[in-house]
Amino acid sequence: MRQAFSYRPAPCTEAGVSLLEVLIAVSLLGIGFTAIFSGFSTALRTIERVDHSAQVTDFAVNRLNELELDPNLGPGQQLSGVSDSGLRWQATTALVDERPGIDPDHPTQLMRMEVRVSWKTNKGDQSFALQTLKLRIPRQEVSP
């Protein structure tokens, strides 16, 4: 009887990783790290912008509060200045309404106050404005 010849490969006893598999794994890791670091970079820029916006808003609110407490500030005035951190500001007041007051020479006034804060960036000049209304009641002068 004739015996059939069959070829069976010897079981592979060597285990390892080919160079192609290593290159693919390194490429995938590089793509993953690039995406992660890009996300971190975007998050840091966003945090910096939000922090600067909060600083500008706080400065504008504080400046507006200071002007609101100024008893000598009247309608039609303009004030300006520069902060220690380099923020430029300009305040303007305008008369909105006027009604008779205690004394005909001193009417009660409603004025609009606006504070505009501006600063320079890489993309050009940026600005932020806040407005409020102030009721100006004249002081009654007391005679001695």
Q: Can you tell me the mean pLDDT for 6-14?
A: 66
pLDDT the model gives residue 104: 75
CA distances (Å), origin 133, targets 7, 78, 119, 136:
97, 16, 25, 10
pLDDT the model gives residue 18: 86
pLDDT bucket at 1, cuts 50 / 70 / 90: low
Report the number of secondary-structure helices (H) and strands (E) in the chain: 1, 4
Taking a C-beta distance cutoff of 8 angstroms, is the pair 118, 47 a contact? no
pLDDT the model gives residue 10: 63
pTM (whole model) above 0.85: no
- What pLDDT digit, counting tens, does each position of 96-137 carry? 998 887 777 778 889 999 999 999 888 888 899 999 999 888
- What pLDDT digit, counting tens, does each position of 21-65 carry? 899 999 999 999 999 999 999 999 999 889 988 999 999 999 999
Residue 137 tokens, joined? 């009641």
pLDDT the model gives residue 41: 93
Order of strands, sheet of 106-121, starting from the edge strand that comes earlier in the sequence: 78-82, 88-103, 106-121, 124-136
Q: Which residue did the predictor score with more confidence, 5 or 90?
A: 90
CATH 1.10.150.120 is held by the domain 19-136: no
**Quick one: the chain helix, strand, coil %, rounded to 5?**
35, 35, 30
Q: Can you tell me the mean pLDDT for 8-33?
A: 83
Sequence ranges of the domains in the chain: 19-136
